[in-house]
Each structure stands twice: as C-alpha cells, then as structure tokens.
Amino acid sequence: MKYHILPLAFATIITSQAGTPAAEPAAPAPAPEPWIKPILDIRARFEYGDVADPLLDSATAFTTRERVGLVTKDWHGFSALVEGEFTQAIDDNYNSSSSPTTSPNNPFDTQINDPETNELNQLYLQYKGFDTQFRGGRQRIILDNAAFVGNVGWRQNEQTYDGISISNTSIEDLTIFYSYINRANRIFGSDATGALRSFAGNVNLFNVNYRGFGDVSLTAYAYLMDFDETAANAGYISNNTYGGIATTPLGPVTLYGEFAFQTDTDSSPAFKPDLAGYTHLKVSTKQWNTDFNLGWEYLDADFVTPLATVHAFNGFADTLTGARLGLVRNPGISDLYISHTTPIFWGMKFSQFIHLFGDNNSDFDYGWEYDAVLAKKFNENFLAIAKFSYFDSDGAPGAPGAVNPAPFDTTRFSIELNYTF
C-alpha cells in the first residue's frame, strides 16, 4: 500500500484542478489623459445666393474654414483653451459683408457673409469645482435656443464674446448662469471695422433654469444690453429684455411657450418705444418616426435681438435678419411656420419648413418661404448638409409709411461637409 499513496495523492490534486480556468491576465491600465489635446473643426461649403434686386447680381461662394486649437487637461479644477479660426475663399464671387461700401470683394453681388479671415476665436481660462464653472476670456456662449444669445454657428466665422461667465448647479435641478461681456466679436472677420467687427458695450446676461417638476422645464432670463453708440446702430440695438420659457409634454405633444418684453436704455434713440413684446409658441409631436412642429413667433415693432443666432429663425434665406438684429429698423415680425423632419434612406434625414411672414399687425403681407434640408451623418466625425431656401416677397405692405424689411424674392442653396476631431 505504501507504494500507491504518492501516485494517488498526485492524481487527486490533478483531478481537483482540471476544471479550474487559468487566471485572467490583468487588464492594462488606461492610458493617462494627455496634458494637452488638439481641437480641429473643418468645414468646406459651396453656397449660391440670388436676391431679385435689380442692382445686385447672383453670387457663388466656395469657402473653407478651419478651427484649430489646444485644450489642457484639468488640473485641480483649472484648464485653458486657445482656438484660432481661418477662412479661405476659393470662389469669391460674392459680397462678404452687410455693407457694400465696406465689402472686401464684389460689392454688387448678393451678400454671403463668409469673408476671408484669420483671427482668435476663443481663448479662456476655466475653473470647475463646487458645482460651479467659471470662464474668463474670449468664449462661445449659447443660451437656450439662441433666440437672444448665440454663436451664429451657421456662418463660417462664428460669433464669440469677451468677458466672464459663471454657471452653478449647487441646488438640485436648478442651473444658474451669469455672464458679463464687453464685446461681441461678430461674423464679418478680422478686416471688418466698427459695428461690423464687434458690438462693444456693457452686457449682463442672467439665465435660470429649473427642471424639478418632472418633464417640465422652466427658464427665466434678464438680458441687459447697453452698447456703445455707433454709426451703424446709433444705440438702436441697446435694450433690456426680460422673459421666460416653459416646456412641457402633454399627451402625444410637447408644448413650448416663451414670452418676453423689452425696454429701452439711456443710449436708445428717442423714437424707440419704451416697451415692446415677444411671443413664441410651438407644438411638437413625433408620429410615424417623423417630427412635426407648428409654431408662431412674434416680435413687436422695434423689438431687436442683436446677439441672436438669427439664421435659426424666420427662414434660412435670411431675409429678415437685418430687422431682427436691429441693423435696420424693425417694423415688427410675425412668423407662422410648420416643419417636419423624417429619416429617409441611407441614414439621411430630410426636413421641410414653410413660413408665412407678416409685420406686427400679423397681416402676413411680407411673403412666404419654403426651406428644405438634407443631412447625412457618416460617423462621429463627418457630417454632410445640403440646404435650399426660397423666399417669395409680397413687396412693400400696404400700410402707409410701412416698409417691408425683405422686399425682394430670394433664393439660396448650399452644400457642405463638416469634420470635427
């Protein structure tokens, strides 16, 4: 028996471990985050524009834009970002500014606001900590749907701001935002001057959002904009705006309501009224995999939004942008619109919009517009967009002394490819 004990013990050990898998190799530790990361945003766009003004020719623009920058890793809550913006015109048969006398090329072509430029787009120091984010320097600011404060991201040269911004989320479901800016760097490029280059002044932006009532979102804001008087606006764009937004689902639809009023400031011209109102109502629903929207946006006469991303409102032909921004006097805008967005084939999305435009009397005598957008997202980096818009003007309205801010038929078409990294 003693000769069989060792082999039996050895066999028992082998049998007991036969079903035990080999230990998994330890997962490699994740690569440390680099101290500095690159920023790259490239866009190439062809755009055609035609305004039926007998003094203007149609225009074509083939432009490329690069945003190149660096952002640092967070260090004890601190980080920094620097970004340059560079636009080139390969085909420059267009007027690239809002003023023919200051346009660097082709002043009698239709306006397409993508000038060649090389400039500092953003440069800021940021701190995050204690449920607070602080930024100081040149920065992008977009509030809510950008109807009052935005970056004009549609154009090649975006709008950024010089100042400070603070956002705090210490209270659950409550976001408090404040910003002080003394300059809005506009979209007309580094060669522009005066109000085309920037809107300077003292601007205080307050925005509070609360989401503690389930799916209901409530926002209150106060935008106090006291701009320097310039030859371009003579104080007309200065304003104090107070308003609120409520969004809530109701059965199969989502309701959006926004109301605001605007008062003049010490720098406002005498003819500007003491009080002007704003209303935006919208009903949205998703049916058959398609998003539908029915809305109405209304601006009283002399109600202006000089820092807005106006391309997102009142049609993609941009016929009412001057009046809405306050670059020309706004006789009032009423916009009744309907839209839908649906997926089609090959992962593309197709959107259509119809607008009926009128003045503050809601007579809808400015005209109508049809817009269509086709978008294809290839992956997280590549996005292609084709956009068509046609505005049919009814000419100057019949009211004595009234002026239609968009008296000419306008056609625009663009196709672009975007790459971000």
pLDDT per residue as tens digits for the range 321-338: 999 999 989 999 999 999
pLDDT bin (cut points 50, 70, 90) of residue 104 is low
pLDDT bin (cut points 50, 70, 90) of residue 395 is confident
Give the residue-averaged pLDDT of 109-121.
94
List, in sequence order, every residue forming a beta bridge with 286; answer none if it has no partner.
Answer: 291
User: Which residue has tokens 């839908």?
Assistant: 340
**Does the structure show a pLDDT above 90 at 166?**
yes
Task: Specify the CATH class of 34-420 in words.
Answer: mainly beta
User: Which residue has tokens 């119809």?
Assistant: 354
The pLDDT value recorded for residue 335 is 96
**Does the structure show a pLDDT above 50 at 14?**
no
What pTM did the predictor assign? 0.90
Cα–Cα dist 124/77, whole Å: 14
pLDDT, averaged across the chain: 90
pLDDT bin (cut points 50, 70, 90) of residue 151 is very high
**Does the structure show a pLDDT above 90 at 362?**
no
- Cβ atoms of 127 and 77 within 8 Å: the answer is yes
**Does the structure show a pLDDT above 90 at 101?**
no
